[in-house]
Structure 1
Amino acid sequence: MKTYDLVIIGSGTAAMVAAMRTRAAGWQVAVIDFRPFGGTCALRGCDPKKMLIRGAVTVDEAHRMREKGVEGALHINWPGLMAFKRTFTDPVPEKQERRYAEKEIDTYHGQARFTGRNTLVVNDTHIEGRHILIAAGAQPIRLGIPGEGYLADNEDFLRLEQLPRRIVLVGGGYIAAEFSHIAARAGAEVTILQRGARILKQFDPELVGWLMEKFLEIGVDVRTGTTVDAIEKTGTGFLVHTSAENGARTFEADLVVHASGRAPALEALDLDAAGIAHEKGQLKLNEYLQSVSNEAIYAAGDAAQMGPPLTPVSSHDAKVVVANLLEGNRHKPDYRGVPSVAFTIPPIAAVGLSEDQARRQGLKFRMQSQKASDWFTARQAAEKIYGFKVLVDDATDRVLGGHLVGPHADEVINLFALAIRHNLTAEDLKTTMFAYPTGASDIGYML
């Protein structure tokens, strides 16, 4: 049996951070993954998605500027865009493994399974770790409907060699919103089926309402209050059977994509064999990201599910875990001011408290909210969808929440995040001289 100071399950952002930092401290480290090394963000999520979005953004910008000095029509060549994406994703696994090899970090390919409190088996190899970090990421939740096996997931979508003509997305979160904006601009007929009353429930409902105008403009058919009951395979595609308040309906599709949420990827690990407490598919952790029932076990990122399911959180969690491993449990994760963005076109972004959260907490605050289609930032981009909602505490003048939709929202939200995390006041932001004209230069008028 091979013995290590730290064994890491998963090879994404959290794994890389934890492996490199503990190895630098002289620890013997191993990393295990049954998939190509690199993790969800680099291979199956954020980064490849953003590369596809770049093509969609380019087409959208040209379309908006037609008859405004820009002539001619652009279109997306899907195989070409996919080839561009692969220029980033294809080299990642080899680069990751080379980095590990250079640092004398052992790598194992296969599904890890616990055999004891600090022992694992990978294929036929038995491994012992003084400490074990679960950083296995997340996977699509089970829907429990007939024909569920016909659903494509985010990974399937991001490696499509040809774009299907008719795409149905089951769910209304980030994946549905972002993929629909890519696919529709590439020429697909896209339908979103959302069980809830609205899509993008993680964002301010008023701003989502403004963004819905864009979904309508690009031809995405959004059906809220619609439950998917079954998926049926036909000779030419799929039938998606649904029910809603106004009755049952069937949608035809060439591809049906799971966009109904993700959960920690824990099932194959056999947590019970290691005495790792879990409940409803989630690890039970203390405030130091350590298992409450097995002190050898820590978790980070989506597997921990203590903070928002975002890549910067995975990195942050890993740093906290490493500090606790090296120095003893003294460090706790700090999720203040973590911004979240749905990369629709234009993007929608949020950080801090929502209006509803602030009211439920009984806070006294002032709020500025406006659909600002006539502001220069919107007009210079020929984009009608632009608006904001900002909450500022009455007593302290500190920013409580920032909510943006429109051009540059994905970048400007970071300045609101900075303010929240470092207790800057609205006055601090208003008296900062930002470059003009930029998205950031609008901040003073939002406060």
Structure 2
Amino acid sequence: MEQKEYDVFVIGSGSAGQVVAETCAQNGLKVAIADNREYGGTCPNRGCDPKKILLAPTEAYETATNLIGRGIFSAPKLDWKALQKNKRKFTIGVPKATEKDLTKLGIDLFHQSPKFLDPQTLSVEGKNSTVKKVVIATGQIPRKLKFEGNTFLKTSDDFLSLKKLPKSMAFIGGGYIGMEFAHMAARAGSKVTVIERGDRILKAFDLDLVSHLKKSSEDLGIRFILGAEVSQIEKLRKNFRVHYAKGGQNKSFKVRSVFNTAGRVPAIDTLELNKGNVTCSDKGILVNDFLQNTGNPNVYACGDVSLHSLPLTPLSGIEGAIVAENILKCNKKKIEVPVVPSAVFTLPNLASVGLSEEEAKSRYKNVVVNYKSVPDWYNAKRINTSAYAYKIISNKRTRQIVGAHLLAPHSAETINLFAMAINQQLTTEDIKTMIFTYPSWANDIKSMV
């Protein structure tokens, strides 16, 4: 069997893996990279980017619908087929362009998932490779649900490539993905049900603001079934019957398509990590502050698959740069993660940065919590939206902002101002004295603090 030798072998071609491979190759190392799917990773091919492309027309639909009778004559109609065609213009060239850029740097490309044979040997495409350093950047995949009929479940990949929108659909899981898709599908004309095993949706976000979003979602026509455990998916002639248990009772409903949006898990099952002495858990690869594996010091992990990471693309790129530097300079760079904002791209957006109210109260002796629902503020009234709320948390002693939670049409943008404020340790007075464009959503933050 052919044997190759590499200084660095990267598994995964998303943003983290690309940064490592390119940086190491540019510095004279012999590099290989492997991916068992399209090159470029989840975000540009089947994640964040195509999702937001499909979202854009629904944003226009929402604004126009809210302004009927206020200068808009009638609501536009969403053409799902045209939405998908537009999305493909952005995604179709990503794999080829990514491979071209990597090949230009002399990087060897593989199109299967490698397996560890021992701590410094990988097998891929029928070839064994001796490697000095391995970088695992395989990202995450949908969590498998275990019940009868689970093979009928579709995933986020399927939703983002739907040629025709089903008349009805159910999403099992009320997290980021389920809620974003539910909003898109409902505005495009599908009858949507979100079924969640917990007693609330979006458990990572502030409960008060989630309550406002749930109300907006119900006004859109989305049905929620909370505290429910799905037990079976039954195939009917045209539909599926979803069986679930709730409150000690067995119930069911019919729907045209069912999607698994119950979260994602590290994509590591096929790597045979035990043979490489790579320590891991069901949440990801175990790493130290250098993003170096705790079991095999010649293995690094970055991006969503790392136990240190949050599943956010900008952070993956940062981690990739740190891993590359540590490979080149023998562990000189520890990871220091700034306060990172996150957002759910429903309409309205739900966004958060920093500490929750509970976390702030447990960490500081005295905090100030400003929480209000303000649909009567100018910017909300201007576009006739009924959902506008915020919760801003500050340290009473220092007056520094420590947490911010927003629900608004553009809160995914506005939250970045609060991220900057927290990272720069700005006080409420610092924000109040700033001058922003007026009237703008950004200017509203002065009234929130």
Q: Same fold (TM over 0.5)?
A: yes
Once the two structures are superposed, the pairs formed by residues 112-261 of structure 1 within 5 Å of their partners are: 112-245=114-247, 247-261=249-263
Aligned to 1:66: 68
Question: How does 1:299-314 map onto structure 2 within 5 Å?
Answer: 299-314=301-316
Asked if the contact 2:391/2:404 (under 8 Å) is kept, the reply is yes
The residue matched to 1:11 in structure 2 has which SS?
coil
In 2, are the aligned partners of 1:238 and 1:254 still within 8 Å (CA)?
yes
* Match of residue 16 from structure 1: 18
Are 1:407 and 1:439, in contact at CA under 8 Å, matched by a contact in 2? no
Matched with 2:296 is: 294
Q: Secondary structure at the match of 2:270?
A: helix
CA 1:249/1:321 → structure 2, altered by over 3 Å: closer, same or farther?
A: same
TM value normalised by structure 2: 0.97
Confirm or deny: 8 A CA contact 2:140 2:304 kept in the other structure. yes
Pairing 1:305-324 to 2, within 5 Å after superposition? 305-324=307-326
Separation of aligned partners in 1, 2:438 and 2:195:
41
Distance 1:363 1:149 in 2: 51
Q: What SS does the aligned partner of 2:234 have?
A: strand
Paired residue secondary structure (2:10): strand
Partner of 1:94: 96
Give me the whole-angstrom Cα distance separating, in 2, the residues matched to 1:126 and 1:417.
46
Per-residue CA deviations over 1:18-38 (Å, capped at 9, x if unaligned) read: 122222222221110010101
Query: In the TM superposition, what is the alpha-carbon distance from 1:398 to its structure 2 partner?
Result: 1.7
- Residue type matched to 2:75 in 1? A
Cα shift readout 1:7-48 (whole Å, capped 9, x = no counterpart): 110111101111222222222211100101011111111000
Between the aligned partners of 1:15 and 1:103, the Cα distance in structure 2 is: 14
1:393 match: 395
Q: What SS does structure 2 have at the residue aligned with 1:268?
A: coil
SS in 1 for 2:25: helix
Supply the AA of the counterpart residue of 2:445.
Answer: I
Over 3 Å counting, the alpha-carbon distance change for 1:323 and 1:285 in structure 2 is: same
Contact 1:347/1:406 (8 A) holds in 2: yes
Shift of 1:281: 5.0
Q: Which runs of 4+ in 1 moved over 6 A?
A: none
Q: Distance in 2 between matches of 1:397 and 1:304?
A: 35
Query: What are the equivalent positions in structure 2 for 1:371-386 lying under 5 Å apart?
Result: 371-386=373-388
The one-letter code matched in structure 2 to 1:106 is D
Q: In 2, are the aligned partners of 1:336 and 1:420 still within 8 Å (CA)?
A: no
- CA-atom RMSD, angstroms? 1.3
For residues 375 and 22 of structure 1, the distance between their equivalents in structure 2, rounded to whole angstroms, comes to 52
TM-score under structure 1 length normalisation: 0.97
AA paired with 1:307?
Answer: S
* 10-19 or 179-188: bigger deviation: 10-19
Deviation digits for residues 145-198 of structure 1 (CA, Å, limit 9, x no counterpart)? 111121111101100100111101001100110000000001101000011111
Determine the C-alpha separation between the residues in 2 that align with 1:421 and 1:326: 29
| One-letter identity of the residue aligned with 2:399 | D
Equivalent residues of 2:266, 2:282 under 8 A apart:
no
2:351–2:411 contact (8 Å) kept in structure 1: yes
Kindly provide the amino acid, as one letter, of the partner of residue 270 in structure 2.
A
SS in 2 for 1:251: strand
The residue aligned with 1:403 is 405
- Partner SS state of residue 369, structure 1: strand
The 8 Å contact of residues 206 and 356 in structure 2, kept in 1 or not, is answered as yes
What is the aligned counterpart of 1:351 among 347, 350, 353? 353
Match for residue 417 of structure 1 among 402, 415, 419: 419
Match of residue 441 from structure 2: 439
Q: Distance in 2 between matches of 1:40 and 1:46?
A: 8
* Residues 19-34 of structure 1 mapped to structure 2, 5 A cutoff: 19-34=21-36
Tell me, which stretches of 5 or more residues in structure 1 are unaligned?
Answer: none
**Larger CA deviation: 341-350 vs 362-371:** 362-371
1:117 Cα deviation after fit: 0.8
**How far apart, in 1, do the equivalents of 2:418 and 2:7 lie?**
40
C-alpha displacement at 1:246, in angstroms? 5.9
Secondary structure of the residue aligned to 2:180 is helix
Q: SS of 2:110's equivalent?
A: strand
Q: Aligned-pair distance for 1:361?
A: 2.4
SS at match of 2:60: helix
Separation in structure 2 between the aligned mates of residue 330 and residue 428 of structure 1, nearest angstrom:
36
1:46 paired with 2:48, answer yes
Question: What SS does structure 2 have at the residue aligned with 1:317?
Answer: helix
Q: Deviations over 1:268-315 (max 9, x none)?
A: 000011011123353222122111110110001111031321111211
Q: Which blocks of at least 5 consecutive residues in structure 2 are unaligned?
A: none
